[in-house]
């Protein structure tokens, strides 16, 4: 009798544990996805003063990715992930040109970064930031300014409800 009661108690305990390990999704079979778009805009003189820009960003699987940009005015990347809350972010590392490589007397060097995101369960956000805004800067000062502003990191955590909280991603 004691053995039977012991087995019954063990079975009841196991059933309780198994039911406690349920799925936390809102709807059966529903997968929450988060989509983020990174946009970096370079001013027309940017790559006349910079050799290249390394852009590190969080990819679809949450892994760190890297693109090297040497020209153009806009870089855009869209990522979609089922890892929610999602970590969306990028880091920019600028490699300035040498002063003897500069051919203009003054430079207008602008750099703007933006992140927008949305989740499939509803909710979205969008934010942008001017990271560098130099107007009519002489060639000797533009290199100094780019070296002082060499790295920028920008990121958000996007929750299942679409609410976003600023954070500093690590790369």
Q: What is the mean pLDDT of residues 36-54?
A: 96
Residue 68 placed within a domain: yes
Name the residue range of residue 155's domain: 33-166
Residue 11 placed within a domain: no
Residue 146 placed within a domain: yes
pTM assigned to the model: 0.79
Residue 24 placed within a domain: no
pLDDT 10s digits, 128-166: 999 999 999 999 899 999 999 999 999 999 998 888 999
| 22: confidence class by pLDDT, cuts 50, 70, 90 | very low
**List of residues 6+ apart from 122 with CB closer than 8 A:** 161, 162
Lowest mean per-residue pLDDT among 26-35, 49-58, 94-103, 114-123? 26-35
Lowest mean per-residue pLDDT among 28-37, 81-90, 92-101, 144-153? 28-37
Residue 6 placed within a domain: no
Residue 1 placed within a domain: no
| 11: confidence class by pLDDT, cuts 50, 70, 90 | very low
pLDDT at residue 96 above 50? yes
Residue 9 placed within a domain: no
Tally of structural domains, the chain: 1
Residue 113 placed within a domain: yes
Q: What is the pLDDT of residue 130?
A: 95
pLDDT at residue 13 above 80? no
| 30: confidence class by pLDDT, cuts 50, 70, 90 | confident
How far apart CA 116 and CA 88 sit, in angstroms, is: 9
How far apart CA 85 and CA 160 sit, in angstroms, is: 6
How far apart CA 39 and CA 109 sit, in angstroms, is: 17
């Amino acid at each position: 009798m004691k053995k039977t009661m012991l087995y019954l108690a063990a079975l009841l305990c196991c059933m309780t544990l198994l039911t406690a390990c349920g799925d936390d999704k809102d709807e059966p079979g529903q997968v929450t996805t988060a989509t983020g778009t990174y946009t970096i805009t370079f001013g027309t003189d940017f790559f006349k003063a910079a050799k290249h820009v390394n852009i590190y960003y969080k990819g679809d699987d949450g892994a760190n990715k890297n693109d090297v940009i040497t020209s153009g005015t806009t870089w855009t990347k869209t990522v979609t992930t089922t890892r929610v809350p999602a970590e969306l972010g990028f880091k920019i590392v600028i490699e300035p040109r040498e002063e003897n490589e500069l051919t203009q007397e003054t430079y207008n060097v602008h750099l703007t970064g933006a992140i927008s995101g949305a989740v499939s369960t509803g909710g979205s956000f969008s934010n942008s930031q001017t990271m560098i805004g130099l107007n009519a800067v002489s060639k000797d000062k533009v290199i100094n300014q780019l070296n002082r502003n060499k790295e920028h990191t920008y990121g958000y955590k996007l929750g299942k409800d679409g609410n976003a909280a600023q954070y500093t991603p690590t790369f």
